[in-house]
Homo-oligomer: A and B are copies of this chain.
Amino acid sequence: MKASDTLKQLPHKTIERLSQYRRALLICLDNKKDHIFSHEIAKIQHITPVQVRRDLMLIGYSGTLRKGYNIQELIDLISDIIDSNRGINVAIIGMGNLGRALLNYFSGKRHKLSIVASFDINPDKIGKSVNKIPCYNITEMEKVIKRENIEIGIITVPASQSMITAKQLVDSGIKGILNYTPKPVEVPEGVYLEEYDMITTLEKVSFYVKMENERAADHVIQRKNQGTVASDF
């Protein structure tokens, strides 16, 4: 089995963490250190050192005993694995606040992942540029996507438009879609889809805060009961 085959079987969670390791390592580069221990990476990412070592084992990277991992080497290896050699072009559909936020956020962050176009229906936006990325009319989607060799589309239109937008993207030959609207879309086999709705994350935080509140309240009740029992003596 080729090395590339092994990489194809990397656990999904490992892929996510590799992206996060690289991000953390890029920040570490500034700090004049050239090596980092598994427990240091782990601390940053709120996970265990074992998990870090196991992930690195899976991608075949070896550190130096009692010295840790070479930061630059590790960044390069992770980049080899998760980046595409020739680079991948991305478009954002919907230049509202979220679209602009993503555009600012990504601009120039990754060599191999470039946002090269945005789309909107608002005439005030069409024809202008944000961060040097031109905004096209949505009606030109297929033409631009093919011309610019765009493979990934990020959907940040209003929820009511998410499905039609996904269909347009698919019809334009897109390979992957990242949907930020709260309305799930459907894509045919062969198009990779990631749904990401921000309300779910907030509701999850809310749930665990609620749980913690209730747990704390229960403890108060228990202490009160104990107190009552004790005073009976």
Contact = CB atoms under 8 A, between A and B. Distances in A.
A16 B213 contact: no
A182 B90 contact: no
26 contacts: A12-B204, A16-B204, A23-B182, A45-B184, A82-B207, A82-B210, A84-B209, A96-B101, A97-B98, A98-B98, A98-B105, A101-B101, A106-B202, A110-B203, A113-B202, A113-B203, A113-B206, A152-B202, A175-B209, A176-B206, A178-B201, A178-B202, A192-B205, A192-B208, A192-B209, A194-B205
- Per assembly, the copies of the chain total 2
A133 interface: no
A183 B200 CA distance: 21
Interface in A75-127: 81-84, 88, 90, 96-98, 100-102, 104-106, 109-110, 112-113
B200 A84 contact: no
